Amino acid sequence: MWIKVDKMELTTTTIKKHKSFTTIHTPNNKRGEKKFYKSFIYGGKRMWITLSLTFFLVLSEMKAQESFLAQQLNYPRVLDAFKQKDASLEEEFLSKSLSWPPKEIYIRAFKSEQELELWVREGSEFSLFKTYDICKNSGTLGPKEKQGDKQVPEGFYRLDRFNPQSNFWLSLGIDYPNKVDLERTTAADPGGDIFIHGNCVTIGCLPMTDEKIKEIYLLAVLARNAGQDDIFVHIFPYKFTLLNNAIFSNIYPKHASFWKDLEAIYLYFEDKKQIPNIQVNKNRYILP
């Protein structure tokens, strides 16, 4: 006896049976497959997002560093300094076997000698690039203590401002007062707004001629552009030679103990040509 079976029905039934015995399509495996698929897709997305964010942050940081010089060059005085000094400074650096442009600089000043030194880091040590004359003096030896005393600070500072539109041509701000200054003073107002600037005038700053501030300002911009966030400025009353110690400690006995702390940092740098990690203990600077 023959049973007539429709071809369409046979085909459908066969396919259904085939599907029901295919392990990859069982309900449990379907859930596992979806879980794996989601894990693969979403895990990949998370990794892609993480890598993208990391790349974006690194790129943004690089652009921020690279753009500091470009930002400064938008100001006519900085552009003028760059056009006048860039080539000659590079030539001077190369003649002294110093890498150009500078990646890290250090400034130290001496009030009695009226000198400002600009050092450049090469490897693990600093090398003296140039000594600039401070063209005017203000006050006497000894630290600044209050607003209006016309004193140039003494101690260890950082550059905290670049002013390309200064009333004194170009200026670099010093972060006076620091913690030690605030501990030492008894005045309600210890003063502030201490700069290395041009125009050769001062009531407590470190003034330069306009030609010299162009060089110093440009070198500081280049160092900041290379990624140096902390540009240190150390200001001493004088160079701590035996003769100077004998002379000035006799003239200014009240500053002798304070100057001893400054001398220790001065001698450390003279010996190692490295900036020490200076610590503060209330109103004193100390070496670790």
Separation CA 194–CA 155 (nearest Å): 13
* Residues 11-15, mean pLDDT to the nearest whole number: 43
In a domain, 213, yes or no: yes
Tokens standing for residue 273:
């040509």
In a domain, 202, yes or no: yes
- Pick the catalytic residue from 197, 200, 234, 255: 197
Cβ neighbors of 204 (< 8 A, separation 6 or more) are 138, 139, 144, 149, 150, 151, 152, 153, 191, 194
Domain boundary residue, one of 72, 91, 125? 72
Residue 43 exposure: Cα atoms within 13 Å on the Cβ side: 6
Q: How sure is the predictor about 170, in pLDDT bands with cuts at 50, 70 and 90?
A: very high
Please give the pLDDT value at position 13. Answer: 44
Q: How sure is the predictor about 211, in pLDDT bands with cuts at 50, 70 and 90?
A: very high
Q: How sure is the predictor about 172, in pLDDT bands with cuts at 50, 70 and 90?
A: very high
Q: Which domain holds residue 177?
A: 99-286
> Domain total for the chain?
2
Phi, psi of 85 (to 5 degrees): -110, -20
Q: Does residue 19 carry a pLDDT above 60?
A: no
In a domain, 27, yes or no: yes
Whether residues 164 and 233 fall in one domain? yes
CATH of the domain at 167: 2.40.440.10
Please indicate, yes or no, whether the overall pTM of this predicted structure exceeds 0.75.
yes
Q: Is 200 a catalytic residue?
A: no
Helices (H), 204-284: 210-225, 242-251, 256-272
In a domain, 20, yes or no: yes
Q: How sure is the predictor about 1, in pLDDT bands with cuts at 50, 70 and 90?
A: very low
Q: Is 255 a catalytic residue?
A: no
In a domain, 9, yes or no: yes
* Residues 23-48, mean pLDDT to the nearest whole number: 54
Please give the pLDDT value at position 288. Answer: 85
In a domain, 92, yes or no: no
Separation CA 192–CA 59 (nearest Å): 36
Whether residues 10 and 139 fall in one domain? no
Separation CA 121–CA 107 (nearest Å): 11
- Pick the catalytic residue from 18, 200, 205, 255: 205
More confident residue, 50 or 263: 263
Separation CA 181–CA 125 (nearest Å): 29
Q: What is the pLDDT of residues 92-112, one digit of tens each?
A: 999 999 999 999 999 999 999
Whether residues 157 and 199 fall in one domain? yes
In a domain, 91, yes or no: no
Please give the pLDDT value at position 196. Answer: 98
149, 172 Cβ separation under 8 angstroms: no
Separation CA 186–CA 120 (nearest Å): 37
In a domain, 77, yes or no: no
Torsion angle (degrees, nearest 10) of CA 131, 132, 136, 141 = -20
Whether residues 38 and 140 fall in one domain? no
